[in-house]
């Protein structure tokens, strides 16, 4: 049976209507996940508990420096409780300082390299123009060397005439022109150095989260493990519950580009790796390090409780013997 015109038009319009790409939906879901995690981390870092602990550590550090100076002058090396607290957080503080200096050095080196390259490029342009013009002049002279013209010898009057000097070629104007060009090159190169360090070569937020993700594994106590890890692990658990116990972002194990099988999709759809995937996987590593520290602390508490119970039983047995 022949189809009606209305049904054929509906089929043709249905065929011409483009389907909504799944990658856009996946990217939107990743963006929402990333914003939620960033909000959790930001609220934890800016919380009053974090500010209170950091201020207390800073005060104890200042007191420890004063005590060290006093002890060095009086040759009294007694250990106070504040210095003991400082030692507990010293590994985390040293790692934070090391990461910051590493990032600053990387940005500074790239900015200086760009500024130097810009300066020599600007100073090299006139030299390059002169070299190119001289090359073309020699090349054109060689092309015209095959032609010979009968030239009349110049008259003595013309040979004695001196060429007129151009006002632009005076030494004073030439000095000012060179000074202006040099000043412009220096100012422009310096501006490129400062602006590139502020905008172009600034580390991505994922790099800062990557630095924070290593803090829970430091020796001793960790402020980030005490303040940032609990809400972050809670949000991570909510995400796993929402996606059926699976991490919904593709993760690459190495340079071969192999993912994690069923965990390498979002909502059952294949998707390419994006910057959001990189940031979310860094947050996942952060949560994994928090979980490792939490398990280690629980094992230490259980071991301490077992030792306390064993020592108490030993004392009871000894008391019964006496």
pLDDT of 241 > 70? The answer is: yes
Angstrom CA distances, 109 to 98, 112, 114, 194, stand at: 16, 5, 9, 12
Q: What is the pTM of this model?
A: 0.63
Rounded mean pLDDT, 173-182 = 83
State the pLDDT at residue 256: 38
DSSP string, 218-268: SSS--HHHHHTHHHHHHHHHHHHHHTTTS--S----STT----GGGGSBTT
| Residues 289/218, Cβ–Cβ less than 8 Å | no
State the pLDDT at residue 264: 42
State the pLDDT at residue 130: 63
Q: Which two tokens stand for residue 314?
A: 């030993």
State the pLDDT at residue 190: 92
Instruction: Assign residue 60 a region (left: φ > 0; alpha: ψ between -120 and 50; beta: otherwise).
Output: alpha
pLDDT, tens only, 97-147: 899 999 999 999 999 999 999 888 888 766 655 665 566 566 666 555 555
pLDDT of 207 > 80? The answer is: yes
Q: Which has the higher per-residue pLDDT, 37 or 138?
A: 37
Return the H-helix or E-strand segment holding 143. helix 81-144
What average pLDDT does the structure give for the chain? 74
Q: Which two tokens stand for residue 114?
A: 């760009």
State the pLDDT at residue 21: 44
**How big is the CA angle at 49 (ends 82 and 81), to the nearest 5 degrees?**
10
| Residues 107/197, Cβ–Cβ less than 8 Å | yes
State the pLDDT at residue 113: 93
pLDDT of 178 > 80? The answer is: yes
How far is the first Cα of the chain from the last one, in angstroms, to the nearest whole number?
A: 108
Q: Which residue has the tokens 């994922």?
A: 206
pLDDT of 158 > 90? The answer is: no
Residue 191, C-beta contacts closer than 8 angstroms, at least 6 positions apart: none
- Helix (H) and strand (E) counts in the chain: 10, 0
> Under DSSP, is residue 222 helix (H, G, I), strand (E, B) or coil?
coil
- How far apart are the C-alpha atoms of 65 and 80, rounded to whole Å? 12
């Amino acid at each position: 049976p022949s189809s009606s015109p209305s049904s054929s038009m509906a089929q043709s319009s249905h065929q011409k209507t483009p389907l909504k790409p799944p990658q856009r939906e996946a990217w939107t879901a990743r963006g929402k996940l990333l914003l939620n995690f960033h909000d959790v981390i930001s609220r934890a870092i800016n919380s009053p508990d974090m500010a209170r602990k950091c201020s207390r550590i800073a005060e104890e550090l200042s007191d420890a420096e004063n005590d060290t100076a006093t002890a060095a002058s009086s040759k009294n090396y007694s250990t106070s409780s504040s210095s003991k607290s400082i030692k507990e957080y010293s590994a985390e503080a040293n790692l934070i300082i090391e990461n910051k200096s590493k990032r600053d050095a990387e940005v500074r080196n790239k900015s200086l390299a760009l500024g130097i390259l810009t300066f020599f490029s600007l100073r090299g342009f006139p030299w390059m123009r002169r070299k190119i013009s001289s090359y073309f002049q020699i090349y054109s002279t060689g092309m015209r060397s095959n032609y010979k013209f009968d030239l009349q010898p110049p008259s003595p009057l013309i040979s004695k005439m001196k060429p007129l000097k151009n006002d632009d070629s005076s030494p004073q104007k030439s000095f000012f022109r060179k000074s202006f060009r040099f000043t412009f090159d220096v100012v422009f190169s310096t501006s490129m150095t400062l602006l590139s360090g502020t905008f172009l070569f600034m580390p991505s937020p994922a790099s800062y989260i990557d630095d924070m993700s290593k803090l829970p594994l430091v020796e001793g106590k960790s402020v980030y493990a005490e303040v940032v890890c609990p809400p972050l692990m809670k949000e991570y658990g909510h995400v796993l519950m929402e996606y059926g116990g699976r991490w919904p972002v593709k993760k690459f194990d190495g340079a071969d580009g192999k993912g994690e099988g069923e965990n390498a999709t979002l909502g059952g759809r294949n998707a390419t790796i994006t910057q959001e995937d990189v940031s979310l996987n860094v947050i996942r590593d952060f949560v994994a390090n928090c979980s490792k520290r939490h398990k280690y602390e629980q094992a230490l508490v259980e071991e301490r409780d077992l030792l306390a119970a064993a020592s108490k039983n030993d004392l009871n047995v000894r008391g019964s013997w006496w």
